[in-house]
Amino acid sequence: MTTYAFRLPPGPNTVAYAKLAEKLGYESVWCPEIPAFGHDIWITLAQIAEQTSRIGIGAAVLIPSYRHPVAQASAIATVEAIAPGRLRAGFGTGFTGRAGMGKPPLKLADMRQHMEQVRSLLKGEAIDIDGGMAQLLASDGFLPDRPINVPLLFAAQGPKGRQLAHDIADGLISMGSAASGFDTCLVSVNGTVLDDDEDMSTPRVRDAVKPLIALAYHFKYTTDRAGLKSLPNGEAWLASVEQVPEAVRHLSVHRGHTLDVSNGHDQLVDVGNAKEMTFTGTRDELRARLKALEAAGATGFIFGTSGVDVEREMHAYADLVGL
């Protein structure tokens, strides 16, 4: 059975949105770990766990360089204690979270090591971490009994990353595309659902999709700067960025990432290709795209939007899939 979830960046309204998601019938809500952009993920997930009763809770995704494996395992165990059986933890190499600090994504070898260490700790094992033996040593009643069987997923796009997901994870999280061969393949999509009387030129739609389309500009800037020329108005966008001192340029680029266009550059983003670059369209168009992704291996979807009108989008996507 296909599952439908909603992505909620940690912030001042996230818990209220999660309560609405539960009311609307979403299977789960997922929060990314982006500490420079908002609230702490584990505090937010714990608040959601305490203030909801049914909905699944997911981390999508955790970036290993932020936390020691023991701290990571303890956080997972804590939320599992608050909401037994409702938590899933996704891990990723950290495009946004690390690029926003001027760092490259983590290597797959680092991901393998961290996830294997966290899984071993959740099993109750004593393991070597950086030359010292470590273990969850909680006394009775402080954490759930080990083993703690929270599913661990891995976010990956390329073949090597997806092979790693096969090797060590309980499922795959993918951005915009599906992959076969996974019992759990959650596809994350971001966009807006058009009303019957809307087209791509309306102010609401343009405001909703501009921060999402800006992601492509941020990604090209980080991974393929020359490729910015292939994006509409990309040269003007890059020229704006290059007015910022180089040492802090990356901070300027990633400010407001996917939520708004407050960084001073993303107002230049061209939204003309919004249907191709985001999960945006009429209800019929989006249902057809969901069906194609299911045929390609998707077992569930994590819908997301910009920060323009989150409640509106939560209702629209729920209506789209018949929740």
- Reported as a single tens digit per residue, the pLDDT across 10-47 is 999 999 999 999 999 999 999 999 998 899 999 999 99
The type of residue at 230 is S
Q: How far apart are CA 211 and CA 202, in angstroms?
A: 15
In angstroms, how far apart are the furthest CA atoms of the chain? 63
Average pLDDT, the chain: 96
What is the tens place of the pLDDT at every residue in 198-234?
A: 988 899 999 999 999 999 999 999 999 999 989 999 9
**With 0-12 CB in 10 A as exposed, 13-18 as middle and 19+ as buried, what is 292?**
exposed
What is the tens place of the pLDDT at every residue in 156-183?
A: 999 999 999 999 999 999 999 999 999 9
Q: Which two tokens stand for residue 152?
A: 């661990």
Q: How far apart are CA 46 and CA 64, in angstroms?
A: 19
187, 149, 146, 181: which is closest to 166 by C-alpha? 181
Asked if the peptide bond before residue 12 counts as cis, ω within 30 degrees of 0, the response is no
By DSSP bridging, strand 132-134 and strand 127-129 are antiparallel
Q: Which two tokens stand for residue 197?
A: 């009387």
Give the SS3 label for residue 11. Answer: coil
Phi, psi angle pair for 87, to nearest 5°: -100, 140
Round the CA-based radius of gyration of the chain to a whole number and report it: 20
To the question of pTM greater than 0.95 for the whole model, the response is: yes
What is the tens place of the pLDDT at every residue in 102-148?
A: 999 999 999 999 999 999 999 999 999 999 999 999 999 999 999 99
Where do runs of H (alpha helix) occur along the chain? 14-24, 41-51, 69-82, 95-99, 108-123, 159-168, 203-223, 234-241, 249-254, 274-277, 283-295, 310-321
Residue 72 near residue 37 (C-beta atoms within 8 A): no
